[in-house]
Amino acid sequence: MSIPSQLNVELFRDGNLESNHIVNFYNSKSNSNDYFFPRSSVKPFQIIPLLYTLSIQNEINLTDEEIALFASSHSGEKLHTDLLLITSEKYNLNLEYLICGAQRPFHDKTADSILNDNNDFLNIHNNCSGKHLSMLLFSKVLNVDFQNYYNLNHKSQANINEFFYEIFQTKDISYGIDGCGLPAIRLKTSDFIGSINFIKNSKYSEFWNRVFNAYVRFPEIIGGTNRPDSNLIKNSNSPLLAKSGAEGVMFVTNNNDSFLFKCLDGSKRGVDLASSHYLKSIGLVNNSPFESQVELYSRNRQNNKAVEIKITKNF
């Protein structure tokens, strides 16, 4: 077992330390027994059982936009909700059965516009609605009841979990409940990050490549305007998949090297600053994602710089 490397994110106000985030960092060579909840960073894998099943039936061939939507944590912008509506109609899926719940869109301008028009936030604004829609489709493809698609014992979830056992090469996986109501897996960081080497040499390789390419082609669908994972993909120096997860998780891979960041206090700010800084330092992305995060977290409402940010490595 190896001790994880760490990135320390410190915020200074008037020269005084105000906040400190410790971010554990793992790469493909890490051999850690740390457990974590990947949360939404598992979505690039979670869609593959559907793609695999569709390939066997040879009836539906999802577009790259649809794959990106199904593996997204979107911001609820018009781009996303329009695609959700079009996709649900295309495959005759009833959006009323989505159990993710209504949510204020992550995209503030979209949320403000909805409120100004005296409209309500809907389940299609939920950042996980694309994933939920994919599970309605998966239930339909499997010809099973879709009303309980969120249940761990449902056939769609059982297929996904068997797939997880296979690609993570372990049954040492437990389950909680995610914020959107679906099962949330918990496993070792080394098993999670090691899955790339397995999957790209397995019978699932072509489906992984489709997911990878969907992320590269449509980063704005994966997240949205100025979202950290979207920005990493758009500003990479070579094709890159990046997926954030709640409670301070960021997963990044270029299919050769993989990286996992987990902020110990669950801070989005901590993991976004740490991951963009580190990936810039090794030349995987340009400076734009990190600069964007620094601007976001160092300026006050008068657009004056009020905070200094310092990031150090403990390798």
Is the pLDDT reported for residue 264 higher than 60? yes
Domain boundaries, the chain: 5-169+184-314
Give mean pLDDT, residues 233-260: 98
Quote the percentage of the chain above a pLDDT of 90. Answer: 92
Give mean pLDDT, residues 204-221: 98
Is the pLDDT reported for residue 1 higher than 60? no
**Biggest CA-to-CA distance, the chain:** 63
Beta bridge partners of 303: none
Assign 269 a pLDDT band (cuts: 50, 70, 90): very high
Angle made by CA atoms 73, 65, 99, in degrees to the nearest 5: 40
pTM of this prediction? 0.95
> Counting beta carbons within 10 angstroms of the beta carbon of residue 293, is it exposed (0 to 12), middle (13 to 18) or buried (19 or more)?
buried
N- to C-terminal Cα separation, the chain: 15
pLDDT reported for residue 100: 97
Is the pLDDT reported for residue 3 higher than 70? no
pLDDT reported for residue 2: 60
In whole angstroms, give the CA distance from residue 293 to residue 310.
12
> Counting beta carbons within 10 angstroms of the beta carbon of residue 15, is it exposed (0 to 12), middle (13 to 18) or buried (19 or more)?
exposed
Task: Give me the chain's average pLDDT, please.
Answer: 96
pLDDT tens string 61-91: 999 999 999 999 999 999 999 999 999 999 9
Is the pLDDT reported for residue 254 higher than 70? yes
pLDDT tens string 85-130: 999 999 999 999 999 999 999 999 999 999 999 999 999 999 999 9
Please give the CATH topology (third level) of the domain spanning 5-169+184-314.
Beta-lactamase (3.40.710)
Is the pLDDT reported for residue 153 higher than 70? yes
Is the pLDDT reported for residue 196 higher than 60? yes
Residues recorded for the chain: 315
**Nearest Cα to Cα of residue 252 among 290, 196, 199:** 196
Residue 58 DSSP one-character state: T
pLDDT tens string 275-300: 999 999 999 999 999 999 999 999 88
Quote the percentage of the chain above a pLDDT of 70. Answer: 99
